[in-house]
Amino acid sequence: MKNDSVYYLKDITAPETPEPGENPSPWTNTTIIGKRLPRVDAYERTSGSALYPSDLLLPNMVYGAVLRCPHPHARVKRVNTRPAEGIKGVLTIITGTTPEADVWWRNEDGYRSKLFDPHCHYEGEAVAAVAALDPYTAQDAVKVIQVEYEVLPYIIDEERALDSDAPRVHPKGNLVDTESYERGDVDQGFAQADVVRERPFHTRCEIHTPMELHGCVAEWKGDTLTLHESTQGVYAVQAKVAEALRLPLSRVRVSGRYMGGGFGSKLKAGKYTVISAILARKTARPVKLVLTREETYLAVGNRPSSHMTLKAGVKKDGTLTALQFTCTGTGGAYPAGGVALVDWLIRDLYTCPSVKTECRDVFINAGPARPFRAPGHPQGSWALEQMMDELAEALHMDPVDLRLKNIPTVSQGRTGQPAYTSTGLKECIESGAQSFGWKAARQRNKSSNTGTLRRGVGMGGCVWFVGGGGPPSTIIVKLFKDGSVNLNMGASDIGTGTKTIMAMVVAEELGVKLKNIQIENADTGTTQYATPSGGSKTVPTESPAVRNAAIHIKQKLMEMAAEELDCDFEDLEFEGDEIIVSSRKEQRIKITDIPKLKKQGVIVGVGYRGPNPENKSVNPFGAQFCEVEVNTRTGEVRILRFLGAHDSGRVMNRLTYDNQVFGGITMGIGFALTEFRVLDTGQTGKMVNRNWHDYKLPTALDVPADMKSLPIELDDPEANNTGAKGLGEPVTIPTAAAIANAIYDATGIRITETPAFVPHLITRLNDLAKEG
């Protein structure tokens, strides 16, 4: 990164107000962007003064709780609320027969259910709700409500969901959809291959379980509803709630300035949001409804499980000839993308002329899925990246070399196969392998793996389906006469540092200090429209619009300065907090000394996000490398070190960038080694590990102290005017597969089912010992 504080006129578009979406020239030299800077709200977050929705206390506020169905499939016959009504402190109870709760909830693909649906399709469906003076009374009241259920046959195994004798989740049957893709001729491709391998893979269901629980505070003022929601997208919640309650959008305000994690599970409203609004209207008081930890395991999303089979063919020189992939997955009891994007890496990551995929999405009686950090991609990576290592072994080729042999330049899986604006996969693999010491580690472990503790190294590559962002985005920036700034944007900061990066963009363009930038965000009543923060689209979507808004202000300032300095607009330069005449450097004026600004008081700049380049694909790439140590007596796996090399365009803030890499790897470690939903297949069909004790998240003891982030910072002026691509999703895609490959390198055991936890691995190790 070069350091230079001078901004030339050519870096902005024209003295006129820019047209919506008009892009300036890319940055060349930067003074703020790219630095390791702490978050602008770091004090608030670390001191406890940041106000999260779950922290909010309003005058006369009361508390809500939801009664949920305890069966995976049941019909509600009768609800008796009288025992709860007699509890002191209970204010109101609503059920499916309450007129105000007669609300239809629209799911994806046209499936609808009642807010309190009498036909419960999964454990955790809402049956009734209570508002009480305190949360403990609300929970106590829920527990004594008497419900008569007709317990129905259930199906919780997606592999059996299409059997002729399987219970039907919905009357139309258990098949949601079949997604197919094909290019080339796979039969011919396999015939041309020198090596063909085929193997089944299985990834288990993973739960989001963010630190801050799902929930909101609902408050009515007249006929206007205000929701303080822990959400990734305030406008998405506004739209869903307005639709459910049949309100104009203007009568629903949603605010969510802080939120404590979501990972995709908070991209949209839940039934609990509408329930809290109804309780608030009936009690005429604000209602806080925050789900319990156990509820979040059942009713607000998951990463779907996937049963996959991958067949691959390769020539002796390492050229892939064919990939054939089948998958069965489930989004649970309602359409929720059970197989969405699971096959994308097979289609797109490596050059291959013949590819055929077929993915079946089925219903089961379990909680509906929601998008989960890089939806579908970690599952597909688990299969593809292990298969690439298996092919490399059969060819006696280094796994790194096999991947480098098949680097794509176009997005093969898209119609028309558009070229990438930039593709750093090759650089990620080469630079990552060199920095990791790949070849030396492989050689060292081969010569020393003779005892109980055996070491191995593994890697995996990735591409993320999107990551280039795109419109719409509208940003308003105000520059006050004292040089301070207000930044107004609708995007949520989901913990990734969005506010910090946007403030850095303003500081870069206007030369103001970060401490003098005040930020308003994520409030439908005061900020501009924004799509939800997810899919690694926030920075590449919002930052170009922020830059355009700041440039709009620069243009107005330079028009004012040209008048004051009696010179041509084209003869001016922006230098820090001053504007100078380029032909007479001694002629300059501080921004805050411009008379017209002093008189006007404020300058308003508006920026829009323009369209992505036509016939091009904007995608981030990555490669990860790890070393593990396996205890062959106990089956314990210890991760010794990890390196993530990622091409996500321009690094906007190196500190938040590295934190994203480390966080993504940590989440991938959980997917690989510890996390999975357990449903009782014997008698009840219920989830049996719905808490942080029994559902094993990785802790500090499971994550290596030696973690390295290696940015592959390629210029990408076509992507957008800041050159940024997404990061949050790709950093978790190849992690689990890299760990599995390292375990194989250490032990010779190919782990095809997640997680690779101790009971599973020790059984395989014992079997291997018996065979040997």
Residues 6+ apart with CB under 8 A from 224: 251, 252, 253
389 vs 41, 193, 199, 460, 668, CA distance in Å?
44, 16, 12, 9, 19
Span between the terminal Cα atoms of the chain, in Å: 55
Instruction: Pick the closest to residue 50 from 221, 208, 230, 227 (CA basis).
Output: 230
Helix axis angle for 234-245 and 271-283, nearest 10°, is: 60
533 vs 259, 426, 717, 723, 765, CA distance in Å?
11, 29, 23, 19, 43
**Which residue type does 651 have?**
V
- CB of 702 closer than 8 Å to CB of 412: no
> Which residue is associated with the tokens 């994690």?
261
Q: Which helix (H) or strand (E) holds 672?
A: helix 654-673
Q: What is the DSSP string of 139-202?
A: HHHHHH-EEEEEE------TTTTTSTTSPPSSTT-SEEEEEEEEES-HHHHHHH-SEEEEEEEE
Structure tokens at 541: 């979507």
Q: Where are the alpha helices (DSSP H) in 321-456?
A: 344-348, 377-394, 399-404, 425-436, 438-448
Q: Which candidate in 563, 729, 753, 771 is catalytic?
A: 729
Residue 150 bears catalytic tag: no
| Cα–Cα distance measured from residue 772 to residue 767, given in angstroms and rounded to the nearest whole number | 9
- CB of 715 closer than 8 Å to CB of 26: yes
| Cα–Cα distance measured from residue 743 to residue 610, given in angstroms and rounded to the nearest whole number | 46
Sign of CA dihedral 233, 618, 714, 716: negative
- The pairing of beta strand 287-290 with beta strand 119-120: unpaired
- The pairing of beta strand 485-489 with beta strand 517-521: parallel
Q: What is the DSSP string of 283-315?
A: HTS-EEEE--HHHHHHHS--BPPEEEEEEEEE-
What are the phi and psi torsion angles at 462 (to 5°)? -160, 160
Residues 6+ apart with CB under 8 A from 205: 302, 303, 304, 305, 366, 676, 677
Peptide bond into 472 cis (omega under 30): yes
Total residue count of the chain as it appears in this document? 772
| Cα–Cα distance measured from residue 430 to residue 459, given in angstroms and rounded to the nearest whole number | 12
- Beta pairing partners, 454: 630
With H, G, I as helix, E, B as strand and everything else as coil, classify residue 126.
strand
Instruction: Pick the closest to residue 494 from 272, 645, 656 (CA basis).
Output: 656
> Which residues have a catalytic role annotated?
729
